[in-house]
Amino acid sequence: MSEFSIIENYFQGRSFQRRDVALGIGDDCAITDIPEGQSLAVTTDTLVNGIHFPESTPPILVAQKAVAVNLSDLAAMGAEPAWLSLSLSIPEHDEQWLHEFSLGIQQMSEYYSVQLIGGDTVKGPLSITITAHGFIPKDQALTRSRAKPGDLLYVSGSLGDAALGLDICKGLVHAHPSHKNFALDRLNNPSPRVLVGTMLRRIASSCIDVSDGMLSDLKHILYASQCGALVHVDKLPLSHAMTQTVSAEQAYQYALNGGDDYELLFTVPESLKGQLELALVNANVSATCIGQIAGLNEKLRLTLDGEAYTTEINGYDHFEEECSE
Ligand code: ADP
Ligand code: MG
C-alpha cells in the first residue's frame, strides 16, 4: 500500500468536518479561515514509542493521548481547539494498527469538534507528532507570566493519578481492580481541560497544564512571573482511588511530582474568586485552591497542616542527565 492510499484509507475525510476549513487533506497545504477578532494558538507535541507510551499500548489509546496532550496545551492558553495536523512515522504498513490508530484520531476529532487538516506519513521508528491550532479572542490568552503576589493558586480535577497508574502498571503498587482501572484510564486516556481553559479567560492571571509534575510546572509559572508561592500540601486534590491505594505521604508525592496529569494549574486574583467559583459551578467543573502566590523573589514554600514540608522537585525532564552540571 502506498503513502497515498494510507492517507486516503485512514485519514482523508474521516474526521469532524468544520466550516472554517476551505481545503483539508489532499493538496500541498490546508487552507483555513481564522474568525475575526481571534488570534491563532499553535502547539506541537511528539509521542515516541517506548518513551511516551509503552510498546504494548493499544493504538487507539496512543492516538487519543497524542491528541489529548496537544489539546491540553491549547486549554492552558484558553484556546478553543479547531484543527489538527498529524505527522506519522511508522516502521511498517500494519493495517490493523493503522485502522485502530485512525479510529482514535477520529473519535477525538468528533468529541472535540476539531478537524484533521493535513500531515505527513513516513516510514521510520514509530513516532507521532501532532500540531493543534485553536482560537483565542484577541488579548485574552492565558500565559505563564502574569501571576501576581496574593493571587490564589488553583488546580483542576485531581493530581497524581497518572503516575499512580504507571506504578500500578509496572507492578510497583498493588491496587483494587476498580482503582487500578481508574488510574490506568487517567494515564492512558487523559481528558484535556478544554472547557476549563476557555472559562478561565478574563478570570485567571496565569495558567499552565500539568504535564511534568505539579511542582515542576508551578515553577514555570513562578519563574515566568518572578514570584514565589505557598502550597498547602494537605489541600492537594486526591482521587478516591489514590487515597484508597497508597499512604497519605505517598499520595502527596504522586500529587506533587507525578507527571501526565493534564490538569490545569492557574492563578486567580483574590478579587475574582467569586467569579471563578460561579464559573466553576456553571460549567460543573471542579478546581481546588491549593495555595497562594507570594512576593517578588520569594521562594516556593510548602506546608502540611501548618508545618513546613520539604520535598524534592522531581518533574520529568527528557534532557536532565545530559544537561545537569
Ligand atoms: P506533499 O508531498 O505535497 O507534502 P504528502 O504526499 O505528504 O504531500 O501529503 C498529501 C496530503 O495528505 C497533504 O494534504 C497532507 O497534508 C496529507 N497528509 C499526509 N499524511 C497525513 C497524515 N498522516 N494525516 C493527515 N493528513 C496527511
Ligand atoms: Mg509530505
Question: pLDDT tens for residues 37-93?
Answer: 999 999 999 999 998 888 888 999 999 999 999 999 999 999 999 999 999 999 988
The ligand placed nearest to the CA atom of residue 119 is: 1
Separation of alpha carbons 217 and 264, rounded Å:
10
Ligand 1 site-directed mutation target among 31, 62, 121, most atoms within 8 Å of CB: 121
Minimum-distance ligand 1 atom for the alpha carbon of 87: 23
Q: Output the pLDDT for position 324.
A: 31
Residues belonging to the chain: 325
Helix H or strand E encompassing 136: strand 127-137
Helix H or strand E encompassing 253: helix 248-257
The ligand placed nearest to the CA atom of residue 88 is: 1
53 secondary structure, DSSP code: B
Residue nearest to atom 9 of ligand 1 (CA): 120
Tell me the per-residue pLDDT of 264-285, one tens digit each, with 9 for 90 and over.
999 999 999 999 999 999 888 8
Total-model pTM: 0.93
